[in-house]
């Protein structure tokens, strides 16, 4: 098979990575995608580094059985804790979400104060600070762990006017507001669903979606390796999960922007 016709593999601990799939579909509409959501082991955000590396390896091994031409780690936690190890193990392009978003924030920040919100593991890893300081040593970074946000989003609590999510976000965003950051990285692929609420609370702050930034990097990578699919037909998506396919199919639509059609298959990894 022509390598260009092979699918792109995308994985996440659950539903959040679908926000990355949404961006890939918008900007690379002819690409085929195989998505794996590790719903049996979600969340990754409070796991040890060793465990996350083990999970990421099994996720990629599964995607490789589908002959993927590139891997998107659509999970900030897995990217920040495991991507370096995965790049040593596998000989194919592996695109994360941390470096693209950090690079975009470093370019856009005018007052050199950048906020980052993410899971406990992502924030503890210091991955965003490391990348930002390597690109822009003059930037200050204010990082805040937000463990309640993913569960709230998965329960559908992400709309403006929801007093619970607004109260939680107001508390989490207080240090970033106090520091006067002009740019905020949404360091979890669940967080684009909170975009409108965050924008309401921080109206003068530029918001960086890691999914959007990573798709730009994916396009450049595939183009540079001559791996863009030459087909003019719409790309197809296959969905796989490690648990609860019915719940994934029911709730996935709010992440991907449309109802998930077709079968969501449960697999063991």
Can you point out the beta strands (E) in 13-69? 33-37
Q: How many CB atoms lie within 10 A of CB 84?
A: 13
Distance CA 198, CA 97 (A): 20
Strands (E), the chain: 8-12, 33-37, 70-73, 94-95, 113-118, 140-145, 183-187, 206-209, 237-241, 264-266
**3 state SS of 44:** coil
How do strand 140-145 and strand 113-118 relate by DSSP bridges?
parallel
CB count in 10 Å sphere of residue 22: 19
Cβ(73)–Cβ(95) below 8 Å: yes
66 SS3 class:
coil
Comparing C-alpha atoms, which of 202, 132, 196 is closest to residue 174? 202
Give the residue numbers marked as catalytic.
75, 188
Q: Is the peptide bond before 250 cis (omega within 30 degrees of 0)?
A: no
Find where tokens 């990629």 sit: 60
């Amino acid at each position: 098979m022509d390598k260009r016709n092979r699918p792109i593999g995308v994985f996440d601990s659950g539903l959040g990575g679908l926000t990355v799939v949404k961006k890939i579909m918008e900007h690379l509409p002819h690409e085929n995608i195989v998505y794996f959501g590790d719903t049996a082991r979600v969340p990754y955000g409070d796991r040890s580094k060793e465990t996350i590396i083990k999970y990421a390896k099994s996720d990629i091994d599964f995607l490789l059985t589908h002959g993927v031409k590139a891997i998107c780690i659509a999970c900030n936690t897995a990217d920040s804790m495991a991507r370096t190890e995965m790049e040593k193990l596998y000989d194919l392009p592996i695109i994360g979400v941390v470096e693209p978003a950090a690079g975009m924030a470093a370019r856009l920040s005018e007052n050199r104060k950048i906020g980052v919100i993410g899971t406990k593991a992502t924030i503890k890893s210091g991955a965003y600070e490391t990348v930002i300081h390597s690109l822009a040593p003059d930037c200050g970074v204010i990082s805040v762990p937000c463990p309640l946000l993913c569960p709230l989003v998965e329960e559908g609590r992400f709309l403006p006017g929801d007093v619970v999510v607004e109260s939680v976000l107001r508390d989490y965003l207080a240090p970033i507001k106090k520091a006067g950051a002009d740019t905020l990285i949404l360091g979890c692929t669940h967080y684009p669903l909170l975009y409108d609420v965050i924008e309401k609370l921080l109206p003068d702050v530029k918001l960086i979606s890691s999914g959007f930034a990573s798709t730009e990097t994916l396009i450049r990578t595939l183009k540079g390796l001559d791996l863009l699919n030459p087909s003019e037909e719409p790309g197809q998506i296959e969905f796989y999960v490690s648990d609860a396919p019915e719940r994934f199919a029911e709730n996935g639509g709010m992440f991907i922007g449309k109802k998930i059609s077709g079968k969501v298959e449960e697999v063991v990894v």
